[in-house]
Amino acid sequence: MKRKITLKQIAKELDVSVSTVSKALSNSKEISEDTTKKIQAFAKLYNYRPNNIALSLKNRKTKTIGILIPEIVHHFFSTVIRGIERVANRRGYNVIVGLSNESFTKEIINMEMLANGSIDGFILSISKETLLKQDYHHFHATINQGMPIVMFDRVVNEVDCDKVIVDDFNGAVKAVKKLIENDCKNIALITTMDYVSVGRLRTQGYLEALQTSGIEHNSNLILKIDDSLDVENHLELLEAEIAQFFKTNPNIDGVFAVNELYAVSSMKVARKLGLKIPDDMQVIGFTDGVLSKHATPSLTTVSQHGQKIGEQAANLLIDRLEAEEAEPEQYFTNNEQKKDFIKVVIETEIIERESTK
């Protein structure tokens, strides 16, 4: 079992200096053709590869991106990772992922673990607990240390950085308008608590669509699910809540749900209550994941294009990293003049399936 070979070992073996080896391997014309050939041959034979850590230390950059997300067993987030990984890889970067598990503390711990030299920049989506607490000091701290951050999906105005979001508002508007066009008279909204920004925006979109269509909104038709209870593992609770909601509002003939789970659960409950989808009730969800595609009936949804989000985020981050490299510091002008941060909005798209007419 031989450890990886180093420049020093090659140098000793070939009786030249370390510098000579290094130069020969990078085809410096400072080194004679003979020596270069000899060294390169030896290096190839022993499968020499420069040590990344040493390079990182020397260059003061690691060529790796830190991803920090609330959860990984989640179609949307894993799709985003795939997008990030794709462009990162193409542009010569690695990705290292941390999971906050929706916890404020784990988010901080993870950030600190990675911010100490392990990565060149962050791509992250804020945990629910952090959103609830509205404590963003750790983001400010890392930005102040000169480490760029790109936020996606769950972003927040209080932090100055590049952002990639989906057009939650207009996505919701489109969805609800489609229900209206499809002759729904009483459109329900099933959403989360307000502190998750995406939930709030989608709710606003719902209201906007109703208003511009001249429909007055009925607050009884809005169901806010308290996801502090672990819904994913207690479907019964969720379903019971929805069932109750449908029973007290028997006139509902259209449902806009802010995520897949709520949408699919609604369909399930509706069916149990003897309603036919899409004849008696039409349903549109948000996030185009596996569930939407494979549910029966398959679900019409607002697609978020997670992969595109990831790709954009990665490009944004790497662009900034390499810009910094080109014109170091002055990029960060004096404090008055803020850097101009970019906010990319990814358009949503309605994917029509069987749950609407």
Nearer to a copy of itself, 71 or 167 (CB): 71
The answer to whether residue 251 forms part of the interface with DNA (CB under 7 A) is no
CA 273/CA 11 separation, integer angstroms? 79
Nearer to DNA, 62 or 356 (CB): 62
Q: What is the dihedral sign for C-alpha 256, 261, 264, 267?
A: negative
Nearer to DNA, 60 or 137 (CB): 60
**Least Å distance between CB 5 and DNA?**
7
Residue 113 binding target from DNA, a copy of itself, none, CB below 5 to 8 Å by type: a copy of itself
How far apart, in Å, do the first and last CA atoms of the chain sit? 66
Contact 226, 234 (CB under 8 A): no
Q: Which of residues 220-249 bind DNA (CB under 7 A)?
A: none
Contact 312, 346 (CB under 8 A): yes
Paired tokens of 298? 């398959």
126's CB contacts (< 8 A; 6+ apart) are 70, 107, 151, 154, 155, 156
The answer to whether residue 114 forms part of the interface with DNA (CB under 7 A) is no
The answer to whether residue 140 forms part of the interface with a copy of itself (CB under 8 A) is no
CA 163/CA 140 separation, integer angstroms? 15
Among all chains, which residue has been given the structure tokens 């995520």? Answer: 259
**Least Å distance between CB 232 and a copy of itself?**
9
Three-class DSSP category at 122: strand
Binding segment for DNA (CB under 7 A), chosen from 46-54, 118-126, 254-262, 343-351, is 46-54
Nearer to DNA, 33 or 216 (CB): 33
**Interface with a copy of itself (CB under 8 A):** 1-4, 47, 49-54, 56-57, 62, 64, 72-75, 78-79, 81-82, 85, 89, 94-99, 110, 112-118, 141, 144-146, 235, 261, 264-265, 267-268, 271, 289-291, 293-296, 329, 332
